[in-house]
Structures are given as structure tokens and as C-alpha cells.
Amino acid sequence: MKVFVFSTQPYDRQFLEAANHTHGHELIFLEPRLVAETASLLTDAPVVCVFINDRLDEEVLKAIAARGVQLIAIRATGFNNVDLKTAKELGMTVVRVPAYSPYAVAEHAVALILTLNRKIYRAYNRVRDDNFALEGLMGFDLHGSTVGIVGTGKIGQCFAKIMQGFGCSLLAYDPYPNAECLKMGVQYVELSALLSASDIVSLHCPLTPENHYLINTESLAHLKRGAMLINTSRGGLMDTKAAIESIKTGQIGYLGIDVYEEEEALFFQDLSDTVIQDDTFQLLQSFPNVVITAHQAFFTRNALQSIAETTLASITDFARGRVCPNQISLDS
């Protein structure tokens, strides 16, 4: 099938082309994000393949439907960037990659924890400067700490296993407790209880209209003073301005994020020669106890291979009229 691939990075092309040997789709790679202004780049194709910062709102969906799109293949797990109601009204099918490597994201959350706790980012620069002093680099033992996991699906479960290996006590908040986590001894509590008892809080739930700004001024007031907050899920789960205020008062002791609510304008591009206009992001960057990565938690070769293979297999299922296991239900 003819597939327009938006937001193409060199690594997307590499892995999609390699996986396409067994599928034989006609892949047309485009670098821009799919937004209202770029929808006209798509010409008469049944399939569009998109990533997390492509914005498939009502306007874009109507524009691409008029150009023949019947299938939206999201090469990611989250689908908060697609207006599913409009997609349904337009008779479109939406597929995603429900699981590729939950390990990749869970391990990156742990990388942020270790980096922040042991101040690796500061130590690295100091040693390169021949500054071998330790003052200011003190961490704490993860062993014996309490870790609160918000969302215990595939990634949250992997994260729980890793943190249990460190000797942490595990709390969780999830409307649907995970049987495997319960077996491991994870204790499910309300969000406020999790926030007040945890030394480290890590977000692993999807972004939905209901949990937008789950971490806000009110919920941050429950946070144990000086705790570490990690977000590798979606930027919209955390009110960044509220988090900044909490960092200033010391309520948040450490912040590690791989996602940012306004990341669309920043991430996945080299802006090193540009003056960044986002003052909130720049302020966040300036704190010594904040580590930001630019949505790279998924970025392992294992994950990219799996994403490419699953995405193209879903397109093949669609082309052959088969039921696709990765189809998102548009009924709710």
C-alpha cells in the first residue's frame, strides 16, 4: 500500500525500510510533522504513518480523509494526539504499537533516577574540569527507599521489577491493579497516599482528558518534601508551571522528565543555533536538580525494530482485509 510517513527521522527510515522487505509497501518519507499546514503534502494515499507529535485533530483528519486516507498507523503506543471520535465519524481505522519494548522506557526511567540521585551529570562535567571534589554530589541509597508507581501496565510493571531489584518498597496507584504486581507485593493506594509516602514517584499511565495535569499544585502539595518526580509518559500529565513552583520551594527535590507538555515545538530537532522562545522550558533547564531528556525513552534498537515490524504488519493486515490485533477500538 502507498504509505505517507510523517515526522521521518533517519532512524525511522532505516528501520522501516529494513522491515518493509517482507511487506513491500510503497513508503513515502516526509520530514515535517503532520499538522493542518502540512496535510496537503499527502497526495492520494490510503495510509498515513505518524508519530507522537503529529497532530491529528478534526481539521487534519478531515483534510487527509479527503485525500483518501483510510488507515492511520501510529508508530507508538500512546494515541492522545489522535481525535478518535472524528476518526470514527470519518470511517477511519486507527492502529498503534501496543507494546514494543516496555523495558526501553522502564530502563530510561531508572537511568533518570540514578542520574539525578548520584548527580552523574554534574560529576561528569566536574571530572572533565579536573575538579575532583565531592561536595554537592551526595546521593541516597535506593535500597530501602519507597517508590510510587502511577500506572502499572506493561511499562509500570517492568519498572516495578527493576526497582524491587534495588531493594525498594513499592506503592502503586492504578484504577486497574496488575495481578503480576500484586503477586510481587506492590501495595495499591490512593494517589494522595502514594505521593505523601514515596521518596520517588514515577508516572507510567497514558495521558487522557481525565488525567490531564494529574500532577498539579494541589497534588504536589501531597508530595513528600524533597521527593523525586520522574515523568517518562506524557508531558500533559504534569503542570510544568506548578512543578517549577514546587522545585523553588523544595517540595520537589529532583525532577527527571523525558516528556514536556510543549515538546512539539522543541523535541526531535537540532535547535542548538536557535534562541529558544519557551521561557518555561528554559527556566526548568536552569535548575541544578532537573534532568531533561528529549523523548528518548523508547529509543533502543530493539524498540525501533519492533515498532517498524508491528506497524508494517498492521498495514499488511489492513491491506488484506484481516482483523488487526493492534486496532484501537473507536467505540468508547
**Cβ distance 157 to 181 under 8 Å?**
yes
For residue 188, the cross-strand partners are 172
Shortest distance, position 236 Cβ to ligand NAD, whole Å: 9
Q: Is there a catalytic annotation at residue 295? A: yes
Q: Is there a catalytic annotation at residue 263? A: yes
Residue with Cβ nearer ligand NAD (105 or 170): 105
> What secondary structure letter does DSSP report for 329?
P
Shortest distance, position 159 Cβ to ligand NAD, whole Å: 9
Give the dihedral sign, CA 109/115/116/117: positive
**Cβ distance 328 to 95 under 8 Å?**
yes
Residue with Cβ nearer ligand NAD (140 or 268): 268
SS3 129: coil
Residue with Cβ nearer ligand NAD (25 or 96): 96
Catalytic residue selected from 263, 264, 301, 320: 263
Contacts of 230 (CB under 8 A, 6+ apart): 109, 112, 113, 200, 201, 202, 203, 255, 256, 257
Residue count of the chain: 332
CB-based burial label for 241 (10 Å; 0-12, 13-18, 19+) = middle
Shortest distance, position 204 Cβ to ligand NAD, whole Å: 5
Q: How many CA atoms lie within 13 A of 45 on its CB side?
A: 24
Footprint of ligand NAD (CB under 6 A): 77-78, 99, 102, 105, 150-156, 173-176, 204-207, 211, 232-234, 258-259, 295, 297-298
Shortest distance, position 187 Cβ to ligand NAD, whole Å: 15
Give which of 105, 28, 32, 71 is closest to 313, Cα–Cα. 71
Residue with Cβ nearer ligand NAD (53 or 93): 53
Residue with Cβ nearer ligand NAD (94 or 105): 105
- C-alpha cell of 146? 519507597
- C-alpha cell of 321? 482485509
Shortest distance, position 267 Cβ to ligand NAD, whole Å: 10
Shortest distance, position 246 Cβ to ligand NAD, whole Å: 19
Residue with Cβ nearer ligand NAD (151 or 253): 151
Q: How far apart are CA 298 and CA 107, in angstroms?
A: 9
Catalytic residue selected from 234, 245, 261, 264: 234
Nearest residue (beta carbon) to ligand NAD = 153
First to last CA, the chain: 29
Q: Is there a catalytic annotation at residue 180? A: no
Catalytic residue selected from 96, 261, 295, 309: 295
Q: How far apart are CA 50 and CA 76, in angstroms?
A: 8
Query: Mind telling me the catalytic residues?
Result: 234, 263, 295
